[in-house]
Amino acid sequence: MTHEVRNKQGNDDVPIVCFQDIECTIHFDRYSNKRIVMPLIDGDGFPYSRATVNVPEAQIEPGEMLIKDWSENAGMLDALVEAGVVEDTGCTVPTGRARYIVKLLITPPANVV
């Protein structure tokens, strides 16, 4: 399985990643506690997956996120790392299932920051 990120041509200059053989655009928003949420939207404009999870009590730095990499998201961490979207910090948050702490390597749109 190949994972890549590139910029979409046209006015919507948003990153694209191939996850589970589905080409998705990476979008950004904020959870209510202001942490970054990163949904993946498929080519038809429908939500395909949410790469991130929110664990409010987890201690993470600004610009870091928690990645869900099990169940329907199996392979998410590798896809995002290989695509150059995130860097694995090597740390996890053990809350039933490990959430991987990553540092975001691309810049979210100004309206999200």
pLDDT confidence of residue 67: 96
What would the pLDDT profile of 5-60 be if each residue is shown by its tens digit?
444 433 356 788 999 999 999 999 999 999 999 999 999 999 999 999 999 999 99
pTM score, two decimals? 0.82
Q: Judge whether 53 and 36 are in contact, CB under 8 Å.
A: no
AA letter at 48: Y
Helix %, strand %, coil % for the chain, to 5? 10, 45, 50
Q: Please report the sign of the dihedral spanned by the C-alpha atoms of residue 52, residue 56, residue 57, residue 63.
A: positive
Where do the structural domains in the chain lie, given as residue ranges?
5-104
pLDDT confidence of residue 13: 60
Element spanning 16, H or E: strand 15-19
What would the pLDDT profile of 70-113 be if each residue is shown by its tens digit?
999 999 999 999 888 999 999 999 877 878 999 999 988 877 76
Number of neighbouring beta carbons within 10 Å of residue 72: 10
AA letter at 74: A
pLDDT confidence of residue 17: 92
